[in-house]
Structure formats: structure tokens, C-alpha cells
Amino acid sequence: MTEICRHRIEHASAWTSAAIGGKAGLLRRIGDEEVAAIDELLARNRGRAAIDITRADFDHAAVNAMMAEAREALLNGRGAIVLAHPEIGRYAREDYERLYWGLGTHLGTGMAQSRLGDKIGYVRKDEDNPTGRGYLGDQELRPHTDFHEIMSLASVEKAASGGDSGLVSSVALHNEILATRPDLLPALYEGFYHGHNPKAGTVGRAVSPHKVPIYCYVDGRVSCYYHTIFMRFATEIMGRPFPPELAEAMAYLNQLAVRPDIQANFMLEPGEMMFWHNWTNFHSRTAFANSPTQKRLLFRLWLNVEHGRAVAPEIAERARLIDRDHEELKAA
């Protein structure tokens, strides 16, 4: 277990919705010069599969500067940014995928999101969802993290109703716990073992050899990894009760994570691309309902970052394991 951070974190990453004005504080509109640059890059790469586009293929001074700004915001600022393209409706869906992937190459390496090897995930309701993946359902998804350092969603089409996105700074939540219930921090820093989804056919270890912390304090920075379902899988596999002190701490964390003054909730509009740092922000989604003519669809990226944020090794290992599992399952 890493040392526990016992001081309030005064940093942009400890943002609250009330302090930044919700979505408005995360929004960065793509300007005319940047749109023209994107169009030039799309013309240069037209006809290519999106995931074949490399960083060198999507190189333009205006785009480079915009994405350097986004990278700085993600790694050293608030840890979240929403890029809004003003004219997304004029693009074919294939071009939207190309520009989205191309922008992502400036931030990290896109990874497969399932055994299918899909590096651009389609987030939508899918009746064929045997492993119960949350991004293929229409139910509410509570605040959580995923596996890779930078995560992203790009809105293509909204649902007929619902489907709001949520972001909340896990660093701000740490500040609130420190101020109101510091006795809960040790359990969150100790964490618990992680298991695997028995429906997924994963080839990874049945249970992690070490406890995976929820919070860690490495190189003077607090980071968080919060994926509760894998802790539940571990308790089922191990046949042991969940630690009551950790259950209490997680219940309080869950309560804080949906407080409206801390969490930003908003609709991600078509043409808006949300990027966030997975170790400093939780994301969530409200339930949604499609109609015959309006069906929710978002693109998704999982990005590994070279020379990114240092975290506890047990956290870093989770991304490596899921990447390995997807590669081995694809090959099987």
C-alpha cells in the first residue's frame, strides 16, 4: 500500500462541477482554422481504414497545437476536456471515425476493447451481449473508471431519451473524504483483490495475486482506480465476505460521486468528443431509451499513454492484463 495523502490537494485536477460551471468548464470548441486543418487531413487519408491512420498521417500545425493543448489538460490540468466540432453533420460516418481516431493518435495508442480486436468501440444498445458489457446495454452506469490511462467517447447520435454523461474528479472526492471521513481512507488505499468475469472466458488469472488499491499516492500525486464489479467477482471466486470497512468506504465514495455540486452531468451532443484521464476522473451514464428513428451511438477509444502518470503497479497491471487477454482471446 502506498503512503496515504493526508493533505488537501490544491490542483486543477481537483475540480468540482460547481466551481467550473459543469460542462461549460470542460468545453473547448474547435475553431475555423482547426476545422480546415482537419478537412485537409481527412482528404489526405480518405479511403483508408480509420485505425490504419498513424500520428504521422494526422500531422498539421493547427491540429498539433490543439491536441497538445488537450494533452496538457488531460495530464497536467483538469484531466478532462470536451472537443466540440461545429459542423459534424456534413461528414460521412467513416470520416467522423477517421478524424476521431486521428485526433486520438496525438494522445496515445489505441487498444482493442474486446476479443474482436475493435480499437474503435461502438457504444450502443446491442441485443447480442452475452458477457453483459455495460457499453452494449441501455442501463444506468454508475461512476467508475476503466482500464486505460486516457478514455474517450465521441457522440454520433443521441438516444430518444436519456443517456446523459457524467464526469467527476476522483481527486476532488479524495479531498471531500479527507475533510469529512478521513478514517475511511486506509481501506480505500488498501483496496481488494480483483477477479474476472466468468462469462468473458478471460485467460487471465482467476484472482489478482495482490490487492488492487482504489486510491494510491505516487510521485506526489493521488490517482484512483475504481471498478467495483471485479472486486465482486473476486469475492465470489474466493468464497469470502467483502471487508466491511471497505464496503463502508465505497458506499460513502459512491454517495459523494453523484453529489450535484461535485459531479458534472451533461448530454454529449453529436460532434462532441470527450477525453478524460482515467486515474483522475470517474465517468458514468444515465439509462436511455431508443426509438425506431433515434438510436444512441457513440465511438469509444481506450488509449495507453507513453510516459504517462505513475500509479501503483497493481493498477497499471490491470490495463496490461486486459490488453493481453484481448489479444490471446482473439487469437484463440
Q: What is the mean pLDDT of residues 239-255?
A: 96
Q: Look up residue 243 and give its DSSP letter.
A: P
Whole-model pTM? 0.94
Band of pLDDT at residue 326, cut at 50, 70 and 90: confident
| Ranges assigned E (strand) in 18-149 | 27-29, 80-84, 109-110, 121-123, 141-144
CA atoms within 13 A on the CB side of 105: 18
> Per residue in 19-35, pLDDT tens?
999 999 999 999 999 99
Amino acid at 106: H
Q: What is the mean pLDDT of the chain?
A: 93
186: phi then psi, degrees, rounded to nearest 5: -55, -40
Please give the pLDDT value at position 200: 61
Please give the pLDDT value at position 203: 45
Give the start-to-end residue ranges of the domains of the chain.
12-331
Is it the case that residue 130 has pLDDT exceeding 50? yes
12-331: CATH number: 3.60.130.10
> How far, in Å, CA of 92 to CA of 95, rounded?
5
Calculate the CA dihedral of residues 65, 70, 71, 73 and round it to 10 degrees.
130
Is it the case that residue 205 has pLDDT exceeding 70? no
> Per residue in 267-281, pLDDT tens?
999 999 999 999 999
Is it the case that residue 128 has pLDDT exceeding 80? no
- Residue 184 has a CB neighbour count (10 Å cut-off) of 19
Contact 136, 83 (CB under 8 A): no
Please give the pLDDT value at position 331: 56
**In the chain, pLDDT over 70 holds for what percent of residues?**
95
Is it the case that residue 298 has pLDDT exceeding 60? yes
Nearest one of 152, 113, 132 to 325, comparing CA atoms: 113
Calculate the CA dihedral of residues 205, 314, 301, 228 and round it to 10 degrees.
80
> Which residues does 5 contact at the CB level (< 8 Å), separation at least 6?
174, 178, 215, 217, 222
> Per residue in 41-97, pLDDT tens?
999 999 999 999 999 999 999 999 999 999 999 999 999 999 999 999 999 999 999
End-to-end CA distance of the chain: 36
> Which residues does 66 contact at the CB level (< 8 Å), separation at least 6?
30, 34, 83
> How far, in Å, CA of 20 to CA of 323, rounded?
35
> What is the chain's length?
332
Radius of gyration in angstroms for the set of CA atoms belonging to the chain, rounded to a whole number: 20
> Which residues does 137 contact at the CB level (< 8 Å), separation at least 6?
125, 126, 129
Band of pLDDT at residue 163, cut at 50, 70 and 90: very high
Burial of 6 (0-12, 13-18, 19+ CB in 10 A): exposed
> How far, in Å, CA of 14 to CA of 171, rounded?
5
Q: Look up residue 30 and give its DSSP letter.
A: P
Strand, helix or coil at 130? coil
> How far, in Å, CA of 214 to CA of 186, rounded?
10
Is it the case that residue 133 has pLDDT exceeding 60? yes
C-alpha 60: how far from chain center = 26
